[in-house]
Structure 1
């Protein structure tokens, strides 16, 4: 048992200790008063106060964990060897930087509560984050700080007993558009065919002709996905967009037999979970979240508790609050569309903290680190370069025994146009990520 002494106890402090000890290190802790702390001789002791105490690990506190309102924080990042630190509070403690406050700042996404210049989808930009500006976006700093604390504990308390942590892999697939042609109806299909003819897009004409005569649908890549899932015994998590047709929500109708049959096929595979992919339109009309979730629950005849936002539309704290209102318990949106890495500095599932309410909420966040579109469209990597990037991120996560979450799309395995030769990237990813 780890005991922590603090002169003050706050929701932010309790939340942060939960993230570090319960979610990352998987160890029990307790916050105690001075008398209990001072008299205890058989526990791991962490002094999180400005008092000078002996026979314990000392971390001098920053004020952020004891504040109750939002306040712009001045962040100065220093590097010690290969590890970035901020919120320096002492030159004499075991940790010169407040790793508790630092963890809270990055995991709660404190900086995203302030108005910044948003991207064209009104999303917080990776380029505006402290992590990107200081070149540690591809480092799971919260996990590493926790590891450094663990090392210090073992150094001072050689008989301390920690849970053996295990690396985990979740292979997630977003199904924005289930099929390129199947289930779209005569008018929609024919309109696309004529458009391709007018534009002299003979490649698309050929693809549609092959669908008519050979029943070959470009986005029907599920056999590939399921084959690899079975071969490497991976946990596959599919997110379905069941929103009404719109400019940025182009899936076939939830009423189509082709879609319901596909969903039932996917969920029948071992180690498979189905989640909702709230539509782009649901970010404007929040009532659509319930509507779309109800549609999916009716199809699978099961409660839906997992989600990921279409287009990764995430606004703090509004998005998470709306998911909570609709009984979503786990969300997988935490990550950037245009950058690979660790948006929240952490590669473990952890709870959501609503800073405006100043309390932890009943929603678990599982960040992802790699998305196909990020590698291809935003970073313009070749399949070979993308494979190396994927390997690097997997190794980083394995080194901290975290959870690697990849984000792929069925359409990205189509092997046409910009996705030519990208199936081998996905195959490499699954093969390497599945190795413990």
Structure 2
């Protein structure tokens, strides 16, 4: 067994390959050559050029090369030229087919392990003001492949090799899907505020937004939100969001905050509040999903994440909400790898959908396919699935990020990622907050993204 590839790695690779190809391959490691075999066949696909850099934590000494798939008679699913992070110069050719199988001279397995399990993020200190690892510090951003699902591209090349070595194998066919979700940070502009808070909001609406009309309506909306959020509340877009999803045969996931670890960042509501309970039940009855949005300072506190997860499940149980899976996303996309992932796993959550960057859209994990989590520190396969986040509304639209506003440029940027996800038959995982609408252009932009 290699010094840097464990038995746990091989079992995890087997799971990843089963999820991707629908085949249980046998993985073997002999003198730093990993081979995959298939039942009923003597043929072998071997990875002969393993790269130790893919198994190291933190900032790596990886360079990034390019490989032209078409020159070796393969088809790049996104482009002919694939990016190839590596600490070694590429051996040519990358793929050698022979009578007994194939030898692959680029460490596709290592790349998959390194990207999916976010090894470059472990122990990093070059974080932003919310203690998040930013896109601009990532290898993918520095070498210009953040906009490409690099793991999906290479696994598609590997699929072509598998089909040539074992032409009679029936590999799994994936279907493109849209996974739309809504972090319920602020369900109402006014309903959960205090009278003084409403007055502050009114002043802000006049001085910062020049929205005198809404400022004058604020007291009436506040007073009219005792049993349910007033329909004129600008953040009460839930019915509209569900209508759009239902119109397009989609299921929306609504992630609720169930704790308060920072009073300036977390929600004003409690999940037990009658308005929230009524809202959750209506969403569930309409066929949508209820999920968790752990509080601001819970990302490195496993006990707090577990407390909030159990709190959500308790409220849902009381309401008769039964779901086959429980998922969600961290507040502010705060994440410390692998502590946060392990906490979600230990809280018996089904999936997490945090892993996208706040400052840029793109493929943080190198894939838009959901996959089984792994703790690279403890060398343990986890039960939880990772559902990478591809686009967050404010990453593209907000002034402090890309700043494209509710424009055609924003639409083009977002649709570009949607089309890429379609090409690799993955999930377009798309976050749009219920409170992130501002006028007719914003509603039209959202609907156009869903329908295009």
TM class by smaller structure: 0.7 to 0.9
Q: Secondary structure at the match of 1:182?
A: coil
> What aligned pairs does 1:69-88 form with structure 2 within 5 A after superposition?
70=57, 73-81=60-68, 82-87=81-86, 88=88
- Distance in 2 (CA, whole Å) between partners of 1:329 and 1:346 is 19
Counterpart pick for 1:403 among 427, 433, 445 = 427
Distance 1:196 1:165, change over 3 A: closer
Change (3 A) 1:116 1:195: closer
- CA 1:13–1:167 in 2, change beyond 3 Å: closer, same or farther? same
Aligned counterpart in structure 2 of residue 367 of structure 1, from 384, 388, 410: 388
* Mapped partners of 1:159, 1:199: distance in 2: 65
- For residue 32 of structure 1, report the CA deviation from its aligned partner: 4.9
Alpha-carbon offset, residue 213 of structure 1: 8.4
Q: Which residue of 1 aligns with 2:236?
A: 220
Using the size of structure 1 for normalisation, the TM-score is: 0.84
Cα distance in 1 between the residues matched to 2:58 and 2:388: 25
- How do 1:385-396 residues align onto structure 2 when only pairs under 5 Å count? 385-396=409-420
Point out where structure 2 has 5 or more consecutive residues left out of the alignment.
69-80, 96-103, 225-229
Which residue of 426, 429, 433 maps to 2:446? Answer: 426
Give 1:91's aligned residue.
92
- Superposed displacement of residue 375, structure 1: 0.9
Query: Are the aligned partners of 1:183 and 1:259 in contact in 2 as well (CA < 8 Å)?
Result: no
For residues 71 and 237 of structure 1, what CA distance do their matches in structure 2 show? 33
- Indicate the SS of the match to 2:45: strand
Q: Distance in 1 between matches of 2:341 and 2:37?
A: 41
Task: Kindly indicate whether the alpha-carbon contact (under 8 Å) linking 2:198 and 2:219 is maintained by their aligned counterparts in 1.
Answer: no
| Equivalent-residue separation in structure 2 for 1:363 and 1:398 (angstroms) | 24
281 and 9 in structure 1: CA distance in 2 versus 1, 3 angstrom threshold: closer
After superposition, the C-alpha distances for 1:129-172 in whole angstroms (9 at most, x for unaligned) are: 11111100011111110110111222344333222221122111
Paired with 1:8 and 1:194, the residues of 2 have a C-alpha distance of 60
Q: 1:61 corresponds to which residue? A: 50
Query: Could you tell me which residue of structure 2 aligns to residue 340 of structure 1?
Result: 361
Conservation of the 8 A alpha-carbon contact between 1:183 and 1:256: no
For the structure 1 residues 206 and 25, does the alpha-carbon distance in structure 2 shift closer, same or farther, using more than 3 Å as the test?
farther
The 5 Å alignment of 1:79-228 reads: 79-81=66-68, 82-87=81-86, 88=88, 90-91=91-92, 94=95, 95-193=104-202, 202-203=211-212, 204-209=214-219, 211=221, 215=230, 216-228=232-244
Q: Displacement, 1:235?
A: 2.1
Shift of 1:249: 0.7
Structure 1 counterpart SS, 2:412: helix
- Which residue of the partner structure matches residue 75 of structure 2? none
Partner of 1:57: none
Confirm or deny: 8 A CA contact 1:77 1:86 kept in the other structure. yes
Q: Aligned in 2, Cα 1:186/1:109: closer, same or farther, shift over 3 Å?
A: same
Give 2:371's match in structure 1, choosing from 350, 353, 365.
350
Count residues in correspondence. Answer: 409
Structure 1 stretches lacking a partner, 5+ long: 1-6, 50-59
Distance (Å, rounded) in 2 between the aligned partners of 1:213 and 1:70? 54
Q: Are 1:325 and 2:346 counterparts?
A: yes
Shift of residue 239 of structure 1?
A: 0.5
1:244-393 alignment, distance < 5 Å: 244=260, 246-270=263-287, 272-283=288-299, 286-301=302-317, 302=321, 305-377=326-398, 378-382=401-405, 383-393=407-417
Higher mean displacement: 279-288 or 307-316 = 279-288
Tell me the distance in 2 between the aligned counterparts of 1:39 and 1:268: 45
CA-CA distance at 1:323 after TM superposition:
1.9
Given that 2:300 and 2:335 are in contact with CA atoms closer than 8 Å, whether structure 1 keeps it comes out as: no
Partner-residue secondary structure (3-state), 1:86 = strand
1-side partners of 2:338 and 2:420: how far apart? 29
